[in-house]
């Protein structure tokens, strides 16, 4: 095991291919079109922040990347593999459940509402997936969990239940839980939106640390400060489309679209 | 609570409240208000006491209760054997019911319309007909299928048996009670599964867990908190419903005492004997339920409720250490 458990994946694979590629991704819920053709490329070690008003499809797009939602049109690749499908003989074939799970196991996800397992202690939350999915030996998983909880500043709380933690602490455990699968990509779905203002900083601190260690990250957020300082690129979505994207400072300082300008004037 | 505790009158001396964490400013004087009087409660208490006294008096003096007969048969081998069969019927039928209930609930929630439909029809049928009828049908299965055989559907059979010999009264009772219970447990388990927030399965799937592992490790353990109380109810109900097996000649507790009083005509004393046993087993089940609930409550509250033993210890320790710390919250609030 390497010294830094969460930077283990960065050297794997050819450095050239992007980590995530989206081409014309469409998603419908019934007759409601939530995504209307999203294109995106995320390079290795890149941190992409997605901003936009609620209902713009940010979270849905994030959930498509690990196949929690099936896309209706377009293509999505993570690390060169098509998400949820296999293409041969000119047709797409759905992956079996086991194969979908294997794809998801390499993508970490952090939710707005933390979604820690309330019937398990902090350390049990962290080792659950490594033991059940990766079939890691329990002692190894605990050792890994200890390291990750140490990095997220939660080592002291290893044996308490999530209910006994503050929101910020719960989210830091949730990040450690996702990292325990040693993912090559981390998805954050508004990780600080459910937190008291004074607890936001501790979670953003962990995420900044993670970004600096070289993790590829896609972050749906309303924290413009984080997007500006930590993000390598920024994407503004509205009504199922990417309105504009580019370097965060550029987009935040000189938005080129009226829609972006109108949104930023309300949140900044 | 109305009466102030013994030690609290001494509370004014500053040193005794040393265990409070609040800063002890001069203004923080403990409130000692005159409690509200409840004259209605005294009237109600007198009425209840009189009724209770009448009841006890009647139980003690009415010789037709024949308590000596109750005592004579209470531990007799025939009654105990009946009790054993009652417990066996309850345990086996509930086990079948719970396993079947989980399977049916998962089927019912399945995406597959064939599975959910089959589950729906099962529940519709077994909840829609009386248990007594179901027991009688199983008991009389031989009229319908004189021979039961295992083999290829519509093809040759490998083994065959006489249904009358195969379906003993006890087996008929277990089938009747267990399959019926499955339908009720299915709805209880389904309610439990639906009570678990969807974000839980989503988080589990995002970590790469299959749906089976998610159900077993994440959803069902949390559903247990909702499933346990009605299941305790069902178990207690089953204990008593099992007496229906007396009509298909299973010598469980009721039929055992019926056999005795059909000979000696001591009907009421023997029914009392059976009732006391039912009450004892029900009480034991209630205690068991308390501890199972406590087990599955872990993580759901900041503190687990105290067990009765812990409560007694707590009570004794506060009793000895006078004056009691004023910071102790009202009953059951504390914890280890």
Supply the pLDDT for residue B158. 80
Residue A43 corresponds to which tokens in the numbers above? 């390079």
How far is CA B283 from its chain centroid? Answer: 9
Of the candidates B208, B211, B299, the beta carbon closest to that of A119 is on B299
pLDDT confidence of residue B309: 77
Contact across the interface for A117 and B208, Cβ inside 8 Å = no
State both tokens at A108.
């970490």
State the DSSP string of B267-287: HHHHHHHHHHHHHHHHHHHHH
- Residues of chain B in contact with residue A116, where contact means CB-CB under 8 angstroms, are 203
Q: Which residues of chain B have pLDDT under 70?
A: 1-27, 301-305, 318-336
Q: What is the pLDDT of residues A22-66, one digit of tens each?
A: 999 999 999 999 999 999 999 999 999 999 999 899 999 999 999
In this prediction the pTM is: 0.78
The phi, psi pair for A23, rounded to 5°, reads: -130, 110
Intra-chain end-to-end CA distance of chain A, in Å? 43
Is B298 in contact with A162 (Cβ distance < 8 A)?
no
Query: Is the confidence at residue A9, as pLDDT, over 80?
Result: no
Cα dihedral: B190, B194, B200, B202 (round 10): 90
Chain A nearest C-alpha distance from B334 (Å)? 15
Phi, psi for residue A86 in degrees, rounded to 5: -130, 140
User: Does B301 reach chain A within 8 Å, measured CB to CB?
Assistant: yes
Domain ranges of chain B: 62-299
**Furthest-apart CA pair in chain B: how many Å?**
94
* pLDDT over 80 (residue A7): no
| Whole-angstrom distance, CA of residue B238 vs CA of residue B233 | 8
| Residue B211 at interface with chain A, using a CB cutoff of 8 Å | yes
A119 vs B: CB within 8 A: yes
Indicate the residue of A106, A113, A163 with minimum beta-carbon distance to B299.
Answer: A163
* Closest to A57 (Cα-Cα) out of A244, A258, A237, A259: A237
Q: How close are the terminal C-alpha atoms of chain B, in Å?
A: 24
Tell me the CATH architecture of domain B62-299.
Orthogonal Bundle (1.10)
Give CB contacts under 8 A, 24+ apart, made by B89-92: B89/B170, B89/B173, B89/B174, B89/B177, B89/B242, B89/B245, B89/B250, B89/B252, B90/B235, B90/B238, B90/B239, B90/B242, B92/B174, B92/B178
Residue A115 forms contact with B (CB below 8 Å):
yes
The Cα A241–Cα A40 span in angstroms is 11
CA of B206 to nearest chain A CA: how many angstroms apart? 6
Residue B163 in 3-state DSSP?
helix
Chain A contact probe: residue of B299, B303, B304 with most A CBs at under 10 A: B299
DSSP assignment letter at A247? -
Question: Has residue A8 got a pLDDT over 70?
Answer: no
Long-range contacts of A92-99, Cβ-Cβ distance < 8 Å, separation of 24 or more? A97/B210, A97/B211, A98/B210
Q: Report how far Cα B14 is from the mean position of its chain's Cα atoms.
A: 49
pLDDT of A2 > 80? The answer is no
- Chain A residues closer than 8 Å to B214 by CB: none
Residue B22: the pLDDT is 52
Q: What is the nearest CA distance from A147 to chain B, expressed in angstroms?
A: 19
Contact A111 B203 (CB under 8 A): yes
CA distance A227 to A264: 13
Q: Do B206 and A102 make contact, defined as CB atoms within 8 angstroms?
A: no
pLDDT grade, residue A227 (50/70/90)? very high
Residue contact B208–A105, C-beta within 8 A: yes
Q: Over range A157-175, report the average pLDDT.
A: 95
- String of b and e for A119-142 (b: at least 16 CB within 10 Å)? bbbbbbbbbbbbbbbbebeeeebb
Q: Which residue has the higher pLDDT, B334 or A138?
A: A138
Which chain B positions have a beta carbon within 8 Å of A128's beta carbon? 207, 217
Strands A185-189 and A107-110: parallel
Closest approach of A101 to chain B, Cα-based (Å) = 4
**Residues on chain A touching B211 (C-beta within 8 angstroms):** 97
B209 reaches A (C-beta below 8 A): yes
- By C-alpha distance, which of B275, B291, B293 is closest to B239? B275
């Amino acid at each position: 095991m390497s010294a830094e458990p969460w930077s283990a994946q960065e050297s794997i694979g050819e450095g050239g291919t992007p980590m995530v590629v989206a081409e014309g991704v469409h998603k419908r819920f019934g007759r409601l079109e939530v995504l209307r053709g999203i294109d995106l490329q995320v390079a290795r070690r890149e941190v992409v922040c997605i901003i936009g008003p609620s209902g713009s499809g940010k979270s849905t797009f994030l959930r498509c990347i690990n196949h929690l939602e099936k896309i209706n049109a377009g293509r999505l690749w993570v690390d060169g593999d098509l998400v949820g499908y296999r293409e041969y003989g000119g047709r797409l074939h759905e992956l079996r459940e086991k194969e979908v799970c294997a794809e998801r196991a390499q993508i970490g996800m952090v939710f707005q509402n933390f979604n820690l397992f309330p019937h398990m202690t902090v350390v049990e939350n962290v080792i659950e997936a490594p033991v059940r999915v990766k079939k890691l030996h329990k002692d190894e998983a605990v050792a890994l969990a200890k390291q990750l909880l140490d990095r997220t500043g939660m080592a002291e709380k290893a044996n308490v239940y999530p209910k006994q933690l503050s929101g910020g602490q719960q989210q830091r455990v949730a990040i450690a839980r996702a990292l325990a699968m040693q993912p090559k990509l981390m998805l954050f779905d508004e990780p600080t939106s459910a937190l008291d203002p004074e607890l936001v900083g501790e979670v953003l601190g962990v995420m900044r640390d993670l970004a600096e260690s070289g993790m590829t990250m896609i972050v749906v957020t309303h924290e413009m400060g984080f997007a500006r300082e930590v993000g390598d690129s920024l994407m503004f979505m509205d009504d199922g489309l990417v309105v504009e994207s580019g370097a965060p400072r550029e987009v935040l300082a000189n938005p080129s679209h009226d829609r972006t300008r109108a949104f930023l004037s309300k949140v900044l | 609570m109305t009466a102030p505790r013994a030690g609290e009158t001494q509370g004014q001396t500053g040193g005794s409240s040393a265990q409070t964490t609040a800063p002890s400013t001069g203004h923080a004087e403990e409130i000692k208000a005159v409690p509200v009087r409840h004259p209605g409660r005294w009237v109600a208490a007198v009425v209840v006491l009189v009724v209770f006294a009448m009841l006890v008096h009647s139980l003690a003096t009415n010789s037709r209760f024949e308590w000596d007969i109750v005592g004579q048969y209470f531990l007799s081998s025939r009654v105990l054997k009946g009790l054993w069969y009652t417990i066996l019927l309850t345990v086996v039928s509930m086990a079948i019911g719970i396993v079947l209930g989980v399977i049916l609930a998962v089927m019912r929630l399945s995406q597959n319309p064939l599975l959910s439909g089959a589950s729906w029809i099962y529940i519709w049928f077994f909840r829609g007909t009386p248990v007594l009828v179901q027991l009688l049908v199983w008991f009389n299965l031989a009229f319908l299928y004189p021979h039961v055989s295992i083999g290829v559907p519509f093809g040759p059979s490998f083994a065959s048996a006489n249904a009358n010999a195969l379906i003993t009264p006890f087996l008929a009772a277990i089938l009747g009670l267990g399959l019926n219970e499955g339908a009720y447990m299915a709805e209880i388990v389904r309610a439990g599964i639906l009570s678990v927030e969807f974000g839980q399965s989503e988080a589990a799937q995002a970590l790469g867990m299959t749906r089976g592992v998610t159900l077993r490790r994440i959803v069902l353990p949390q559903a247990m908190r909702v499933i346990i109380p009605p299941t305790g109810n069902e178990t207690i109900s089953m204990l008593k419903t099992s007496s229906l097996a007396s009509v298909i000649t299973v010598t469980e507790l009721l039929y055992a005492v019926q056999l005795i009083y059909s000979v000696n005509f001591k009907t009421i004393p023997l029914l009392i004997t059976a009732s006391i046993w039912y009450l004892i087993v029900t009480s034991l089940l209630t205690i068991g339920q308390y501890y199972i609930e406590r087990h599955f409550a872990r993580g759901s509250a900041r503190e687990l409720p105290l067990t009765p033993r812990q409560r007694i210890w707590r009570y004794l320790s506060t009793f000895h250490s006078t004056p009691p710390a004023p910071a102790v919250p009202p009953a059951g609030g504390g914890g280890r």
